[in-house]
Structure 1
Amino acid sequence: MYSVKEAFYTLQGEGAQAGRASVFCRFTGCNLWSGREGDRARSRCTFCDTDFVGIDGQNGGQFLDAAALAAHLTALWQAPDQANVSRYVVFTGGEPLLQLDEALVDAMHAQGFEVAVETNGTLPAPAGIDWICVSPKSDTTLRLTRGHELKLVYPQAGVDPANFAGLDFTHFFLQPMDLNPGAIVSDGDPMAATVGYCLRHPQWRLSLQTHKIAGID
């Protein structure tokens, strides 16, 4: 059974695939934070800006098997099929690799989707994923040290981008810390710090949350 907080059709807002039409599937649960504000300060990820608790979001629910969830997500795709243009689904969370498995990857492929995942990288990934985006968090051990995109929220206390620069990823992004009201961050201006680091270390590119800038859900 899969537990989904929400699912929706939108444009990808971040990283190398920014601007791409996508079905997003946000799974419930995370291995770095319970999602409860009372636990934030003592969690391993203190700055998450996402609600991944429960199954009460838009198009959320529980799905008995991969075929049922794949059919549900396929129904959310709103564009007509075109030659050389693939459907695209992004599994996120919380931590999607607590639930995403090979059966679901195969079921989405059968529906004509490229499959992407946005993960903290602390869990192994099933075979067949087309796009792996890893977003490391402080005080964790990466299990996924290769993929397509490494997207590091910056600055994080105790996290040095140089420690990830030698990993086997195609794209390296720094994304300024979003100063949401509950976040626990270091002092300073995250945008200025991120821009400055990218200027000094051109391997890294700036990633902005363009969906928030554009007012896209």
Structure 2
Amino acid sequence: MFYTLQGEGFHTGRPAVFCRFTGCNLWSGREQDRAQSVCQFCDTDFVGTDGQNGGKFKQPADLAQAIATQWPSGRGHRFVVFTGGEPALQLDDRLIAELHRLDFVCAVETNGTLALPDAVDWVCISPKGVAQVALTRCNELKLVYPQVDAPPERFTELQADYRYLSPINDYREQTIVPARNHATQACIDYCLSHPEWHLTLQAHKIVNID
């Protein structure tokens, strides 16, 4: 758990507490399994519970209180983003209810293959490879591009308020160069020819925000 600025998509620049769950249904998170996994380009460490402000929580209220301690004291506009791994493996209605009681708006970034609690306020789906998206509606569709098995045309029927293309980054790279590499240019070209899609960049990496 950590307090930062959202770096991509609709809420870019918005202060948020990020709560990263361990575990994913498309990759174990272990390097030796990457080549055989559905999603092979994830650059996020979601193995274990010993990350920043991490741990295990017996009750939803305990986790909600831990999230609340990350927010600046006395400040409103509380916003939490659940991510992973795949947060749908653990996120439930009880936790959302506890956070609503604490005046948090609850967002989730998901691969879309699993059901979500109905009370989530903002849903961002980021499809991965050949995995079939089970959700039919979202606020934000954020597609890492290009993916051979997940072209934008595959998600025409998915209802989304906003559609974003995010240039794929080589997970082996240690730095992000905000230049017009082939993936960024491919996103620009696609958005220009399909104006229902917008370009989003990983601003947090470009300006080095943790």
Matched residue, 2:183: 190
Secondary structure of 1:61's counterpart equals coil
- The answer to whether 1:59 aligns with 2:53 is yes
Return the letter of the residue paired with 2:12: A
RMSD: 1.2
**Deviations 1:8-29 (CA, angstroms, capped at 9, x unpaired):** 0000001000000000000000
Secondary structure of 1:62's counterpart equals coil
What pairs up with 1:76-91 in 2 under 5 angstroms? 76-78=70-72, 80-82=74-76, 86-91=77-82
Return the letter of the residue paired with 1:43: S
Separation in structure 2 between the aligned mates of residue 94 and residue 135 of structure 1, nearest angstrom: 12
Provide the TM-score with structure 1 as the length reference: 0.91
Secondary structure of 2:71's counterpart equals coil
Residue number among 195, 202, 206 corresponding to 1:202 in the alignment: 195
- The answer to whether 1:112 aligns with 2:106 is no
Return the letter of the residue paired with 2:108: V
Secondary structure of 2:64's counterpart equals helix
Unpaired runs of 5+ residues, structure 2, are: 174-180
Separation in structure 2 between the aligned mates of residue 79 and residue 90 of structure 1, nearest angstrom: 18
**Deviations 1:73-116 (CA, angstroms, capped at 9, x unpaired):** 0000025324xxx2000000000000000000001101110000
Offset at 1:204?
A: 0.4
**Deviations 1:157-190 (CA, angstroms, capped at 9, x unpaired):** 12220121332110000000011208xxxxx821
What pairs up with 1:63-78 in 2 under 5 angstroms? 63-78=57-72
Return the letter of the residue paired with 1:161: P
* Structure 1 segments (4+ residues) deviating >4 Å: none
Matched residue, 2:90: 99
Separation in structure 1 between the aligned mates of residue 39 and residue 88 of structure 2, nearest angstrom: 16
- The answer to whether 1:37 aligns with 2:64 is no
Secondary structure of 2:67's counterpart equals helix
User: Going by fraction, where is strand more abundant, 1 or 2?
Assistant: 1
- The answer to whether 1:28 aligns with 2:28 is no
Return the letter of the residue paired with 1:99: Q
Return the letter of the residue paired with 1:200: S
Residue number among 203, 206, 209 corresponding to 1:213 in the alignment: 206
Secondary structure of 1:106's counterpart equals helix
Provide the TM-score with structure 2 as the length reference: 0.94
Offset at 1:141?
A: 1.1
Unpaired runs of 5+ residues, structure 1, are: 1-6, 183-187
Residue number among 106, 112, 122 corresponding to 1:121 in the alignment: 112
Separation in structure 2 between the aligned mates of residue 148 and residue 41 of structure 1, nearest angstrom: 31
Matched residue, 1:15: 9
Separation in structure 2 between the aligned mates of residue 136 and residue 145 of structure 1, nearest angstrom: 12
Matched residue, 2:125: 134
Matched residues, percent identical? 55
Aligned length: 203
